[in-house]
Structure 1
């Protein structure tokens, strides 16, 4: 994937040097405008900044939409961090509530699309079936969050719910609330998941302990814990595969 960080004039996003920062996008040659390039060549032809620029629609006085998008990416530090917590999007000139709403809506549409694909599975045969969805939900959050996928007797998806949020390195998980959520969704099985904002997905001692507590607590109401997935920068780590359930 192309990066969206600021680059030297003349090499960013396929736009000629004389166009960058000097003229608004509608005055660029048609073949250089992000929206027209997307329609002609597909989304793969655009950088992160150009895709965000299409969502923004326009920039502000003295800054076109591509430059505004680069400023957003630069302030956030990465595309993932920008999209992870859109409620706390960096304050950048030219990006008001309406433009923030467009970005949030685009992200939610992508998540719902992943959720549709997950819901259309005949059943979850293994936690890897749900890994992409859980990664999309949890991977880039700047704080630790704990969530559950609730399943029926045939391991079909009933619901997804984020139950607890914490700080950058911890989230308090209360077993009684997980039990209540399972009863509320009439779940017969559950896949637990939480993220490590550090990006390192190795299970900690606290992760192992709370997993054992939840397995015991949910066993009392005949809800089976299929797995506990830990989401980091790379592929999720399955505690079931590690023999830690």
Structure 2
């Protein structure tokens, strides 16, 4: 996940894509650098005819790119024959995504590649931002962590997540099973540990927690609240800040 905090923009791109800054703009695309997009705010100089917003709305309705309201605008310019456009749905601010073509790709191929890149672009919604603030720097412990079977010993389960402010998470699940027969008892413990990166995304318009572990596995869990507690896919967790 690439981020442009200044633009409240998210770029949910593959690992082979990168982001660089230039004066007044950002450059986004594959790390080989042979083509990509320049990302910037729309300015009056980009709209000398005064119809950029109307053109965006028309083309976004007729020819959307991806699922986040982006489109491609055709231009009468041999150097830049088209340009991407996307609007933040929460602020109505319009952004332009101009192709760069260091590889000398033919226009049809460049359009295909840029459409793929444009499809990765979205924005941080207020709900996503709120959840990021809620989770960042916290430990969550499963609220129903202890269960036992009367008369036959019992077992405990504790699952906890630690969400660091730098986007790294740790999940630890510990179990202890105790069996008692004829006055004797035996116990067995287990521990699972998982580390990776976390972020809050939007799924079907609703915030969700995305976890990418170090082995390349991905989980997406629905985020909801029940009073002071957090529900991950309906499972209740108690939230606590890091202790110093």
TM-score if structure 2 supplies the norm length? Answer: 0.25
The structure number with the bigger radius of gyration is 2
| Larger proportion of strand | 2
TM-score if structure 1 supplies the norm length? Answer: 0.25
